[in-house]
Amino acid sequence: MSDTHNYLPFCRPSFSDNIISDDHGKYDHHYWSPIPSLTKSCMMCKRKSLSRRLTIRRESHISEDNAAHIQIRQDLKPKFAKSCRGLICLWCSEECHRQCWQSVNDNNDDNKCDYGKYKNIIVRPQWLHRVANSPVGFQARFPDNIDPSNSSLTPLIVFINKLSGGQKGEIIYNKLIRLLNPRQVFLLENDASVMQALDIYSSLRNTRILLCGGDGTVGWILSTLAKRFSSLDNPPVGICPMGTGNDLSRVLGWGWSYNMKRLLTTLLHISNAKPIALDRWQVDFEPLTRIDPIEETGSIRRCLSHILDHPKFVREIDRPSYQNYQKPLNVRFTNYISFGLDAAVVLDFHDKRMRDPSKFTSPMKNKLIYLNISRQYFREFALWRAWNLRSYMRIICDGEDMTNSLRHCHTVVLLNIPSYGSGTHPWSRTYQNSISLSNNIPNQTEKFNQINSNRFQDIDPPDYSYDQCKSAREDISNTVESSRASVTNDQIGRQSIDDRKIEVVGLDSIQMALIHIGFRGRRIAQCSQVRLELIRSMPVHMDGDPFYLPQFTAINVTHAGQVLVLTNDNK
C-alpha cells in the first residue's frame, strides 16, 4: 500500500510532482471519500446493503498482511463520522462499504481506478506537472508509455462563460470540477486566460475543447484559437449551448438549449465526435470619402423620402449612446454578420441592458423586453416597406454591384452557417445532409416548399398612406400563403460550412417574422467576398455581438481560413 493511501483524501490531487516515465500505472489509485450510504452496488461485495453475516464472512477471509494494514488504519483513525457507511472514489465514482474498503489492496491491478465513464476525457493528475519559471505554472504531457496516436484518450479542456444562460455557468463549473480534473475546467475571463489554458495543454496531443456559452462566447473563443493556431490546426471544439440563439450548436448537433442531462451526454459523446472544418471570415473596415445614395425611382417617392419621418435603424436619441459600441469585439466571424433591422433591435436591447442591468435579471424578462423592442421596430418598418437598405448602403458581391437586390430589404445577412436567429434557415432548410468534410457533393437542385421570391419582390406598396400600406401587406400575406403551398424547384448553390462561400440573404420586416415559421429570405448571392459601403450610420450584428458603424465606412468580408469543430452524430 503506498504512503499516499494511508489516509482518506477529501480532495483529489489534481497534479503530480513525481517522475512518471517508469510506471504511470502506479498513480491510478482510487481516491476515496466518505458518504453516508451507498447509492449503487459496492464494487467489492457487489451488494448495496451490507448484512452483518456478510461483514463477518469477509473479515474472516482477510489475510494476515491485510490485517496488519487494517491495524495501521485503525491507529490512524481516519476521520469519518459513524453515520458514514460507505466510500466513493472521487475519480471513477465507484462506491464501496467501509468494511469492504479495509480489504481493498490498491496494488492489485483489479483494484486500479479506471477513471469511470469519463476516462477518455479526464486529465489524469500524473499528466500535469508544476513548472518553475513559467507564467502558467503547469505543463501537461502524456507519460512515455502512452502512444497518443493509438489511444482513445482525448483530454478535454472546458471553457465556461459564467454569465451565459442566466448565470448557469457557475453551476456547470461546480459540477464539472467534481466530475473531471479541476485543472481542466476554466472560467472564461479574457484572451490572456484562454491563452494560458492552451499553453498548459499545448504538449498534450489529441486534446479537444468544450465551450459552454452562447454564440458570442463561441465566436470569441474561435477567434482566439485562430490567433494561436494555423488553419485546421486547433484542438477541435464542441459546444454546450447556453445562449439564446445557439445557432452553431444547432448546426453541429450539440442541441439548442442547455440542461444538465444534455451536458453529461455531451461529455460522453465528445470523445467520439467527428472533427470537421468550419469557414472563418475576416471583416476589415475602411473609411470612405463621401458617396451618394442610390436615387429612389419616381418623383413622388423621391420627394416623400426627404419630407417624411421615415423609420430609422439608428435613432437620433440613441446616437450618442451608440458611440460606445463603435469597436467590434472581434473582426472575424464564423456564424453570420447582419446589417439593418435585425442589428438595430439587438443593439437597442444590448444598450438598454448595459445602461440598466437591474431590469435584465432573468431569461424570461430579457425575452419579453427583446420582443417588445422588436415589435416597435418591426411595426415601423412593416408600415414603411419602401424605405429600404438601398438608401443606406451599396453591396458588391464578387465584384458585381448587387445594390438593387436590396430593394424592400430591411436586413441583409451574410451567412456562413445554415442556422440564423435561433434556428431559422433564411437560405435553405435542406442543409443538414450537405455538411461534410469532403467537398465532393456537387451543387444540387433542391425542392422548396417556401416563398417564391420572384413573386414576392414584384409586390410594391403603391403609396405611403397607412390604409394602402395595410392593404398591400395583406396582399403580400395572401401571396405568401398561396405560394407556400406550391413546390418550387429552384437552382441554388448548396449551403455548407466548409465551402469557402458565403451566402447573402435579404429580408424585409415581414420576412423576418416569417422565417421563424419555415420561410426563407431573398437570396442575393453566394460568393467568396463581399464589400459593403455605408452611406449612413448603421447597426451591425456579428456572431451575437452588436455594434455601430458610422456613415461612410466600407466593410470588406473575405475568407480567413478554417477552424476545426466537432460534429455530434449521436443526437
Of the candidate spans 30-38, 260-268, 318-326, 387-395, the one that interacts with Zn ion by CB under 5 A turns out to be 30-38
Instruction: Single out the residue of 87, 88, 100, 273 in contact with Zn ion (rule: CB under 5 A).
Output: 100
DSSP-derived pairing of the beta strands 208-213 and 156-160? parallel
Q: What residues does 564 pair with on adjacent strands?
A: 277
Of the candidate spans 66-74, 93-101, 294-302, 415-423, the one that interacts with Zn ion by CB under 5 A turns out to be 93-101
DSSP string, 259-281: -HHHHHHHHHHTTTPEEEEEEEE
Provide the grid cell at 474: 395583406
Q: Mask: binding to Zn ion, 332-361, rule CB under 5 A, as x and -?
A: ------------------------------
Please say which residue, 39 or 372, places its beta carbon nearer to Zn ion.
39
Q: How many residues bind Zn ion (CB under 5 A)?
A: 10
Please say which residue, 100 or 527, places its beta carbon nearer to Zn ion.
100
> What phi and psi, each to the nearest 5 degrees, are found at residue 184?
-105, 5
Q: What would the 3-class secondary structure string for 492-523 be?
A: CCCCCCCCCCEEEEEECHHHHHHHHHCCCCEE
Instruction: Single out the residue of 88, 89, 180, 566 in contact with Zn ion (rule: CB under 5 A).
Output: 89
Q: Which residues have a Cβ under 8 Å from the Cβ of 68 and sit 6 or more positions away?
A: none
Instruction: Single out the residue of 15, 27, 32, 42 in contact with Zn ion (rule: CB under 5 A).
Output: 42
Q: What is the nearest approach in angstroms of Zn ion to the Cβ of residue 150?
A: 24
Considering the rule CB under 5 A, would residue 97 count as an interface residue with Zn ion?
A: yes
Sheet harboring 95-97: ordered strands across? Answer: 32-35, 86-89, 95-97
Considering the rule CB under 5 A, would residue 92 count as an interface residue with Zn ion?
A: yes
Q: What is the nearest approach in angstroms of Zn ion to the Cβ of residue 171?
A: 24
DSSP-derived pairing of the beta strands 529-534 and 156-160? unpaired
Q: Which residues have a Cβ under 8 Å from the Cβ of 64 and sit 6 or more positions away?
A: none
Q: What is the nearest approach in angstroms of Zn ion to the Cβ of residue 64?
A: 21
Of the candidate spans 67-75, 80-88, 113-121, 330-338, the one that interacts with Zn ion by CB under 5 A turns out to be 113-121
Q: What is the nearest approach in angstroms of Zn ion to the Cβ of residue 76?
A: 21
Considering the rule CB under 5 A, would residue 91 count as an interface residue with Zn ion?
A: yes
Please say which residue, 27 or 322, places its beta carbon nearer to Zn ion.
27
Measured distance CA(527)–CA(187) in Å, rounded: 38
Measured distance CA(418)–CA(449) in Å, rounded: 17
Of the candidate spans 24-32, 167-175, 274-282, 526-534, the one that interacts with Zn ion by CB under 5 A turns out to be 24-32
Neighbour tally for 151: CB within 10 Å: 12
Measured distance CA(380)–CA(376) in Å, rounded: 6
Please say which residue, 100 or 341, places its beta carbon nearer to Zn ion.
100
Considering the rule CB under 5 A, would residue 38 count as an interface residue with Zn ion?
A: no
Provide the grid cell at 201: 495543454
Of the candidate spans 27-35, 74-82, 378-386, 518-526, the one that interacts with Zn ion by CB under 5 A turns out to be 27-35
Considering the rule CB under 5 A, would residue 113 count as an interface residue with Zn ion?
A: yes
End-to-end Cα spacing for the chain? 44
Considering the rule CB under 5 A, would residue 44 count as an interface residue with Zn ion?
A: yes
Please say which residue, 90 or 331, places its beta carbon nearer to Zn ion.
90
Restricting to residues 465-504, which ones interact with Zn ion according to CB under 5 A? Answer: none
Q: What is the nearest approach in angstroms of Zn ion to the Cβ of residue 54?
A: 8
Instruction: Single out the residue of 45, 237, 273, 276 in contact with Zn ion (rule: CB under 5 A).
Output: 45
Of the candidate spans 99-107, 319-327, 506-514, 550-558, the one that interacts with Zn ion by CB under 5 A turns out to be 99-107
Instruction: Single out the residue of 24, 30, 332, 390 in contact with Zn ion (rule: CB under 5 A).
Output: 30
Restricting to residues 129-158, which ones interact with Zn ion according to CB under 5 A? Answer: none
Which amino acid is it at 438?
S
Please say which residue, 113 or 204, places its beta carbon nearer to Zn ion.
113
Query: Which residues in 214-343 belong to E strands, given as ranges?
Result: 237-241, 274-287, 332-333, 336-340
Q: With beta carbons less than 8 A apart as the criterion, state whether 420 and 336 touch.
A: yes
Measured distance CA(156)–CA(261) in Å, rounded: 18
Please say which residue, 124 or 168, places its beta carbon nearer to Zn ion.
124
Q: What is the nearest approach in angstroms of Zn ion to the Cβ of residue 420?
A: 45
Largest interatomic CA distance in the chain:
106
The phi-psi region of residue 380 (left if phi > 0; otherwise alpha if psi is between -120 and 50; otherwise beta) is alpha
Measured distance CA(129)–CA(215) in Å, rounded: 34
Q: What is the nearest approach in angstroms of Zn ion to the Cβ of residue 151?
A: 20
DSSP-derived pairing of the beta strands 538-542 and 529-534? unpaired
Q: What residues does 332 pair with on adjacent strands?
A: 282
Measured distance CA(228)–CA(514) in Å, rounded: 40
Please say which residue, 96 or 534, places its beta carbon nearer to Zn ion.
96
Of the candidate spans 106-114, 227-235, 322-330, 405-413, the one that interacts with Zn ion by CB under 5 A turns out to be 106-114
Measured distance CA(461)–CA(300) in Å, rounded: 13
Please say which residue, 118 or 349, places its beta carbon nearer to Zn ion.
118
Considering the rule CB under 5 A, would residue 104 count as an interface residue with Zn ion?
A: no
Task: Classify residue 352 as exposed, middle or buried by CB count within 10 Å of its CB (0-12, 13-18, 19+).
Answer: middle
Of the candidate spans 84-92, 163-171, 269-277, 505-513, the one that interacts with Zn ion by CB under 5 A turns out to be 84-92
Please say which residue, 58 or 141, places its beta carbon nearer to Zn ion.
58
Residues that bind Zn ion in the complex, under the rule CB under 5 A: 30, 42, 44-45, 89, 91-92, 97, 100, 113
